[in-house]
Structure formats: C-alpha cells, structure tokens
Structure 1
Amino acid sequence: MAAAAARLGILVIHNDPVPETEIWRMAPEGVSVHTARFECPRPADTEYVGSPAAALANAPDVVRGLDQLGRLGVHSVALCFGSSSFFGGPAFDTEFAAAAAAHAHGTPVHTAATAITAALRASGVRRPLLVMPPWFTEPTFRATRDYLREVGVERTRLVQFELGPEWDGVARYNAFDEGAHWTIDSAEVHQQVVKAFHDPDHPRPDGVLVPGSGFPARAAVVPLEQELGVPVVTSNQAVLWYGLRHAAPGTGTAGQGSLFTRPLP
C-alpha cells in the first residue's frame, strides 16, 4: 500500500454501497480506494432539492471524513453525490472543493460532477442520452439539464431507468432507501439504454451519460460502447478516471470503457 500508484478518497452518503464497489472493481492494480461516509442531507420521505456548498462541506460528519482521509494520505478526494452539484451549479463545485480541501489538510477535493464534465469534454460528447436513476424526480431532471447546459453540453435527451412492477407502490424518491439499487441488473440497463438510444423519433445522441453515483451501471459500459459506437460515461467511472489522471497520469485500466484511453481535456 505504501507504494500504491494512487490512493483515492471518496465521500459517500451513509447508505450508498455503489461508488466504492464499482470504483474498486474498475481500479487497476496498485490503486487503492478509501471511503468516508456522511449522513445524506435528504430528509426521510422527501425529495432532495440541494444543499448549500458551505453547509455540506462544514457538516460534522463530512468534516470528520475529510480530516481522516487527509491524514490517511490520499492523493485526492471526490464527493460522490452528484445531485448536490446539479442543484447548486458549477459554483457549488468550486465552493465545496475550496472549503473541503481546508478540512482535508490541503488534499485536492473535487465533485463527481466536475469529473463528469471533464469526462464528457475528453470524450467529445456534446449531445448525450441522459440515463437517470429510477429514484430521481422532476426537480433533479431539471437541475441536471441546467447544470449540463451551463458547462457546455449542447443538448440532452433524458430517459429514466424503469424498475419492475413490484416498485409501483413506492414513491420514486424513496426507492433507493428501500433497496432498489440492489435489484438493478446490468443486462437490463443495457437493454433499456439501447432501446432509448435507437428511438426513431429523436436525433441520434453522440454519447451516453449515467450521472447517478448510486446507480450500478459499470458492467454495461463496454457492451454499450461496442453496440452503440459512442462513448459511455458513468459517474463512478468518471470519478476514477479523473482521480487517476491527476494522481497517476500514466496509470491505465483495461476493459472499463473508452474514457480510460483519454487524457484530461
């Protein structure tokens, strides 16, 4: 571990197992991933509609996690909670990163949305098919589109992954807390994305973006790129790529998508 090519820190909400699971599985040999958790700022049984950057960066459990990751010696820390950025805009990313770095003893901090933005630019994607997790709701749809528009994405077409009928009685914004993330199969992700991509009533997208950190899409990336012939970017994939490009630029990882062949824009 002392000789690791990169030690990457991630901040994850208290009940989300997906970012660390996916990033560990994608990480090349010699790269370690270190997780700190914080209580999700979404009150129970409500829709999340954003958090002030300073309030989130200075929340006691976020401060504790940043302090511990900084003292551990990670090369960077990523906030794996894209919704906060989407509601706050790029200004949230800048403000959160500055406040959080002070708690992390000067360790660079970035958000998943910052990594996604860089990944889209590096991949040349300007008109993605936006695949939203099943627990996102209309306010998050609008916020995500507004955020992407502000960072230069020309056009998005939005589709939402559909859960099975057994979830019909659960409010969408509660589906994650009820365990929906455990039920998502990569083959079903692949099938739904391919169907949406080839919708004859809409222009052909130039890429696919899956922006939810808690949505398990890792295993669908390569099959989708092979079938659709366009770049596929997911939140957790972008976080790993961005961290590696900053901490260990020569470190590669095979079989996880075309993004890992690209330099920072």
Structure 2
Amino acid sequence: MLTDSWGWRAAFGILVIDHDPVAEAEFWAMAPAGVAVNAARFASPRRPGTSEYGDQAREVAQSPDIARGLDCFGGMRLDAICVCFTTSSFLGGAEFDKAFAEQASVRAQGIPALTAAQATVAAMGAVGMTAPYVMVPPWFKDEIVAAGRQYLTAAGFPPVAMDRLDVGGTLRPWELWDAGAQWEVRPEQVYHQVRRMIPADADGVVIAGNGLRCVDTIGPLEADLGVPVVTSNQACLWHCLRTARVDPAGVSGYGRLFAA
C-alpha cells in the first residue's frame, strides 16, 4: 500500500542552511513510519568567497529567513522544531544556544525548539559517552573547530581528539563548501578516516555538522569499533522524537542512541 508520509504520529520542522542538501535526506532516511519532516531554509551569514562569518550567533538569531520560517512553522501542527546548523551553535556557545532556542519557540507559537548542538550534547549523555573522538566537516575552519572543542568541553564532554575530514586538494575550508563539497563527501570517506584516526582512549565517536553526509556509517562504525556513534542529524531526530513522545526505539540501523 502506498503512503503519503503524513505525520500522523509526529511532525517536525527543521531549519537548514541554504545550500545544505544533507539534513532532509538523513532525517527522512531515519524517520520511523508516521513521522513527517518539514524543512525551511535560511541564507548563510557568510558571503560566498569569504571566510568571515561576522557575529554569527547574532546574525543567525536575527535572520529574517529564520523568523519567516518560524512564523510559518508556528501555523503548522508540529511537535518540535530543530535548527540544523551546528556552526552557529559552536560559534555562539551554549548560552546563545539556550536563549536562541527559547526565543525560537516563542516565535513559533510555543512549539518546542532546539539546536543541533543541544541535541548532540543530550545524545552523548544518553549513550554514556565521556571521552569522544570528534570528526568535523572539511569546510569547518580552525575557528569553528576550536569553538566546537570549547562548546563540548564546557558541556562536560572534552574531546580526546578532534579532526577535520580530509578530502584532499588545495582548497581552504570555506572554499570547499562554496565549491559544493557537501554534495561530494561519501560515507565511506568518513568511515575510513574515523577508523584510522580514532584514539585508543576514546569511548565514542561524534560526527558533527548537519551538512556532512554520514548516517550510513553509524551502524558499521559501532559494530567495528565497539563504541557508540552520535551524528548531528541523528541526534536532532532522536531529540525531536523524544520531545514528541514517540519511542525512538522504533528507529533501527542507525545506532545505539535510538535504543538508549
């Protein structure tokens, strides 16, 4: 029998940066039957060809695109909203994230809202991870990597190591995104680099970045490394399901998190 993927169990709204093709695809791949995903997009605070984000946290919080998306989501029968932009969370910090999520919920007429980094931290706690190995996208420049380390450390999860995915070539991180690397990264690249680089004292893997295609690596990495794996989009969906009181255990094949 054909289905229209109507959200009769739960429906979520996700806010995704303009040229990110990954978040929706990964949400739909993992979503259990009866769960719908609705997406809205917002312009990046960084102009193409430049490396500067400015005051990323403020610009994202004040984005007219995000305000418009939240206004539209507020008129829909949604159970949760997630801002799928790990970069702004890392650069803004936990206090920004908390205030932003609260303001987003108010704007969306009280629908619970969260950010990708908040979901990731909650997921790490749920699987009992304390010493993560963190992999970030090749387009995260040094400033974002450092901010990510600070964000996770302040949350109580100091990374034992943190690496960018190496895709080769001579392009600088922000140039990789502008050149469309988010369309080119393959899960096997992520899998092999994590296997090669994970330190012996890591008790879990975090793959951060909503635009980094990687959910197909979760099961194989957990089976081969024997540790839990948390990814940004996986954590976002898990947190949305919990918020909607839909049993995450209905998701199979995408990691220990959904059974936590």
**TM-score, normalised with respect to structure 1:** 0.91
Is contact 1:137–1:173 with CA below 8 Å preserved after alignment? yes
Is contact 2:205–2:230 with CA below 8 Å preserved after alignment? yes
Is contact 2:49–2:178 with CA below 8 Å preserved after alignment? no
Unaligned runs of 5+ in 1: none
Once residues 29 and 2 of structure 1 are traced to their aligned partners in structure 2, the CA distance between those partners, rounded to angstroms, is: 9
- Which amino acid in the other structure matches residue 174 of structure 2? Y
How far 1:69 moved relative to its partner?
1.2
- Does residue 233 (structure 1) correspond to residue 235 (structure 2)? The answer is no
Q: Which residue of 2 aligns with 1:67?
A: 71
The 1:48/1:205 distance shift into structure 2, 3 A limit, reads: farther
Residues paired across the two proteins, number = 255
Matches within 5 A, 1:90-169: 90-164=94-168, 168-169=169-170
Secondary structure of 1:72's counterpart equals coil
How far 1:101 moved relative to its partner?
1.5
- Does residue 253 (structure 1) correspond to residue 251 (structure 2)? The answer is yes
How far 1:54 moved relative to its partner?
5.2
The 1:102/1:58 distance shift into structure 2, 3 A limit, reads: farther
- Does residue 219 (structure 1) correspond to residue 220 (structure 2)? The answer is no
The 1:34/1:249 distance shift into structure 2, 3 A limit, reads: same
The percent of aligned pairs where both chains have the same amino acid is 41
Once residues 244 and 47 of structure 2 are traced to their aligned partners in structure 1, the CA distance between those partners, rounded to angstroms, is: 35
The 1:184/1:91 distance shift into structure 2, 3 A limit, reads: same
- Which amino acid in the other structure matches residue 38 of structure 1? F
The 1:229/1:19 distance shift into structure 2, 3 A limit, reads: same
Q: Which residue of 2 aligns with 1:205?
A: 202
Q: What is the alpha-carbon root mean square deviation over aligned residues?
A: 1.6
Once residues 131 and 92 of structure 1 are traced to their aligned partners in structure 2, the CA distance between those partners, rounded to angstroms, is: 23
How far 1:85 moved relative to its partner?
1.0
Once residues 39 and 79 of structure 1 are traced to their aligned partners in structure 2, the CA distance between those partners, rounded to angstroms, is: 13
- Which amino acid in the other structure matches residue 125 of structure 1? M
